[in-house]
Amino acid sequence: MISGSAAIKFEWAMLGLTVPFVLLRLYSRCWITRNASSSDIVVVATWLLFAIGTSEDHATYRLGLFRNHYSYTLDLLDVFEDKVALVKILKISFTNTIPYYGTLWGIKLSLLLLYYKLIPESIPILRIALHTTSFVCATSFLVVICMNMFWCLPVSRNWSIDKSHACFAYASFQPYFTSAAFHILTELMLLILPFPLLKVLNLTHRKRIEVGALFALGGLCIIFTIARVIEIGRAANVATVAVWSTVEQATGIVVVCAPALRGLNSQPILQSQVDLESANHQSIHGQGWWTAGRVTPKRRDSGGAHEILPKSFLRFSNSHQPADAAWEALPDKQTSSEVDVSHHVLSPDIDLSSSASCEELKITKPDLAAQRRPT
């Protein structure tokens, strides 16, 4: 049996263990790779919820909850002598369900944001599975929070010291095991989801080991969840529940931070490089037969509409096709009398490298009526 003082020290130790992982993730993403995104905000918010939950456990420890091997049952109302402190403990324990489940589902949200970057739209089955997983995670979170907050009505019953009227929503059978079932289900869905993608990736042996270790940590999270459910079903001892819950949350935070740590082996990217790449690749998202996945945006300047095309497309223009035939192959074509390219031929000195900016080259359909010579 774990003592109360040992349990609370273990909680703070695990919280401290996650700090370097979160900081290294932020350092790697914000400074080295300069690829920070909303998932980093989610990770920081998740860690803050973890810290809030640990602080609340420490507050209940100072009020005496972790002593004498107390359990989350109604018998606590009989054996706890200081009734004023007991009311405070019950109120803190009731509100502690929000940071606890917020941490668990924050970890899921961070993984989902990562999957949305990894799984391309060109694999529709996986994208549908990803959307389904996101829907299940969002729905389950709402169900879990509502059940743990409003199972006992009025809500004040959660900190009532009258045993005939008291009710602990977070320790009741239906809310607890429903929450555990949703948690395990969504963890399994998140663990299985990327496996089909790994089959099509050409990974080196080292990267396969790294990915395998990451999935092993994800499997440990599920094992810790099952162990916590079994332990609470056996005794529901406050100190034991705190230890298993802390391990579960800390392991999840380490798992979501681990993928970003690979960037620590890279050289920092200068901000000027980031700005240049951002300017040159404003439209890298999309599908197009002529750009191998790069679709350029349509701009409107004074005088008419035109398409901004990457230089790689001008190889098509160098095939000496008639201007009308070349124009008919373009999407969203519009008439314009700005530029006459019917007789333009590319110079062999033009750089066709993909690193050049597509902003330099413009092509519009010539207005043949304007060019027609009077007879």
**Average pLDDT per 10 consecutive residues for the chain, totaling 375 residues:** 90 97 93 88 97 96 88 88 94 95 96 90 92 97 96 94 92 91 94 82 73 78 84 78 91 90 70 47 36 35 36 40 49 45 43 39 46 53
Kindly state whether residues 302 and 160 are assigned to the same domain. no
Kindly state whether residues 222 and 361 are assigned to the same domain. no
Note the pLDDT of residue 153: 92
Check if the beta carbon of residue 39 is closer than 8 Å to that of residue 71: no
Kindly state whether residues 265 and 282 are assigned to the same domain. no
Kindly state whether residues 184 and 49 are assigned to the same domain. yes
Distance (Å) of CA 37 to CA 130, 260, 349 = 19, 12, 40
Kindly state whether residues 126 and 233 are assigned to the same domain. yes
61's CB contacts (< 8 A; 6+ apart) are 4, 5, 7, 8
Kindly state whether residues 297 and 254 are assigned to the same domain. no
* Cα 343 off chain centre by: 52
Note the pLDDT of residue 268: 67
Kindly state whether residues 180 and 53 are assigned to the same domain. yes
The last residue of a domain, from among 269, 292, 324:
269
The last residue of a domain, from among 269, 287, 322:
269
* Domain with 330 in it: 278-371
Note the pLDDT of residue 267: 65
CA distance 275 to 85: 57
Kindly state whether residues 78 and 197 are assigned to the same domain. yes
The last residue of a domain, from among 217, 236, 269:
269
CA distance 304 to 321: 24
Kindly state whether residues 125 and 215 are assigned to the same domain. yes
Kindly state whether residues 184 and 52 are assigned to the same domain. yes
Kindly state whether residues 30 and 176 are assigned to the same domain. yes
- Name the residue with tokens 């589902």: 105
Kindly state whether residues 248 and 314 are assigned to the same domain. no
Cα angle for residues 190, 284, 191 (degrees, 5° grid) = 5
CA distance 136 to 182: 9
CA distance 308 to 288: 14
CA distance 265 to 361: 37
Listed in order, strand segments (DSSP E) in 241-303 are 298-301
CA distance 21 to 42: 14
Total domains in the chain come to 2
Q: In what order do the strands lie in the sheet with 304-308?
A: 298-301, 304-308, 362-363
CA distance 70 to 67: 6
